[in-house]
Amino acid sequence: MSVLVVLEQQGGKWHRMSLEALAAGVELAKLAGVPCLAAVAGKGVGALAAEAAAKGAAKVFAVDHELLDTYTSDGFVVALEQVVRAAGATYVVFPHTYQVRDFAPRLATRFGRALVSDVIAIRNDNGLVFVRQLFQGKLNADFRAAGSGPVFLSIQAGAFRMDSLPATSGESAAFTPELAAASIRIKA
């Protein structure tokens, strides 16, 4: 059982929302009483994984593969499914970005789950509750996870503060997914 935060990088630099998602993951891990893990996918992402391990995650997976050098939803879904299963993730947290909106719903359906998008708050109210806004912020809706399997959620921009991340000495670990060129149908 763990929280797995999927961090987004572009060209070896963090997407600005990745650390906000990590802050949400750290908070969720405290509420759930489980460790916070993270993953960053691409080619040559070991240095980024080591950097994230110093910002609140107990362990960061450098999901490194030649076929992940250029983003494709096919490649990310196959690779991240393997990471989610290997980590034994109970909760999977994403920054709410265009890239995540492209692949995360497909990843969630591989587990028979839905993606709770644009989460603005997490609280423990006789179980974990995920809050998201509806009707352009006019209403807040509370979501509780039902059933088994990981809970997938994306974090709305600005909802969690990256300056709240604790300095830690987590570890980074290489993770090489089993990925074949034939499994990537979309070409850049």
Q: pLDDT for 127-155, tens place per residue? A: 899 999 989 889 999 999 888 789 999 99
Q: Which H or E run contains 95?
A: strand 91-95
- Whether pLDDT at 45 is above 70: yes
- Whether pLDDT at 186 is above 80: no
Residues in a beta bridge with 178: none
What local confidence, expressed as pLDDT, does residue 11 receive?
87
What local confidence, expressed as pLDDT, does residue 177 receive?
95
What local confidence, expressed as pLDDT, does residue 96 receive?
95
Residues with Cβ within 8 Å of residue 30, at least 6 apart in sequence:
none
In degrees and rounded to multiples of 5, residue 115 shows phi and psi of -100, 125
Residue where the block lists tokens 């996918």: 41
What local confidence, expressed as pLDDT, does residue 123 receive?
94
Give pLDDT tens digits for 61-107.
999 999 999 999 999 999 999 999 999 999 999 999 999 999 999 99
Do residues 20 and 155 make contact, with C-beta atoms less than 8 angstroms apart? yes
Do residues 38 and 4 make contact, with C-beta atoms less than 8 angstroms apart? yes
Q: What is the mean pLDDT of the chain?
A: 92
What local confidence, expressed as pLDDT, does residue 136 receive?
85
b/e code 69-96 from CB counts within 10 Å (16+ = b): eebbbbbbbbbbebbbeebebbbbbbbb
What local confidence, expressed as pLDDT, does residue 188 receive?
60
Tell me the percentage of the chain whose pLDDT exceeds 90.
78
What local confidence, expressed as pLDDT, does residue 165 receive?
80
Do residues 36 and 93 make contact, with C-beta atoms less than 8 angstroms apart? no
